[in-house]
Amino acid sequence: MFYIGLTGGIASGKSAVLNCFAELGAATLSADQIAREVVMPGSPTLDTIARHFGGAILLPTGELNRAALREIISRSEAERRWLESIMHPAITARSSAYIQETGPTSLYLVHEIPLLSETRKTTEFSRILTVDVAQNVQRQRALARGNISEHQLDAFISAQASAAERRQIALDIIQNNGTMDELRCNVQRLHRLYLWLRNRRA
């Protein structure tokens, strides 16, 4: 299996890159999407989170109140680390099942993992790709989403690895400061490289 680890900071464009690879026929897996799945109403992970933070962390529908949770972990590193200790094993287990099922029969598999540099679990990948973005562009994109405040953004950026640290572990880098067409061209270039490398290994 040819296996790509995709990483990058908040609002760097990881999801857009992942979608581009999917359009080209690659199998894709998003840690953010898996993170949403493991906290669906009734899940053991959500029950554990609700017991820890209290009922205010749930919406009337029983779903996770993501805005309330973001505010809590942006103000407390200890709570952020506790949450990670609960979420990461659940995400890993669900991701592993998908990889075992899909990876061997795919062109190649691209796995988006925002905290790849922080976990340092890099040896399992054939290549590591980081999406890089200028700080001013990153802030503009993040705040334009409308679901995060400036102090929350500052907290998340400071908690994540730096751009330099992510570049250090990467064999491939996409600069994502331009247009969507430019991004697609960069992904297409890497797609051709990954197919060539995969076929070379076969």
> Hey, where are the domains in the chain?
3-197
Read off the pLDDT band of 131 (50, 70, 90).
very high
- The CA-atom distances, in angstroms, between 127 and each of 23, 97, 99, 110, 130 are 20, 21, 16, 10, 10
What pLDDT was estimated at residue 142?
87
- The CA-atom distances, in angstroms, between 200 and each of 62, 192, 194, 196 are 50, 12, 10, 6
Can you point out the beta strands (E) in 14-117? 27-30, 109-112
Burial class (CB in 10 A: 0-12, 13-18, 19+), 46: buried
User: From CA 43, how far away is CA 38, in angstroms rounded?
Assistant: 7
Lowest mean pLDDT among 27-36, 49-58, 81-90, 154-163: 154-163
Half-sphere exposure of 183 (CA within 13 A, CB side): 20
pLDDT tens string 69-88: 988 988 898 999 999 999 98
Lowest mean pLDDT among 49-53, 68-72, 117-121, 130-134: 117-121
What pLDDT was estimated at residue 123?
79
37 CB-near residues (< 8 Å, 6+ apart): 94
Residue type, 80: R
**Stretch 177-196: mean pLDDT, rounded?**
96
Most confident stretch, 29-33, 101-105, 108-112: 108-112
Q: What DSSP string describes 151-165?
A: HHHHHHHHHSPPHHH
Percent of the chain's residues with pLDDT above 70: 99
Read off the pLDDT band of 120 (50, 70, 90).
low
What pLDDT was estimated at residue 114?
84
Read off the pLDDT band of 52 (50, 70, 90).
very high
What pLDDT was estimated at residue 43?
94
What pLDDT was estimated at residue 202?
64
Q: What is the mean pLDDT of the chain?
A: 91
Query: CATH number of the domain at 3-197, please?
Result: 3.40.50.300
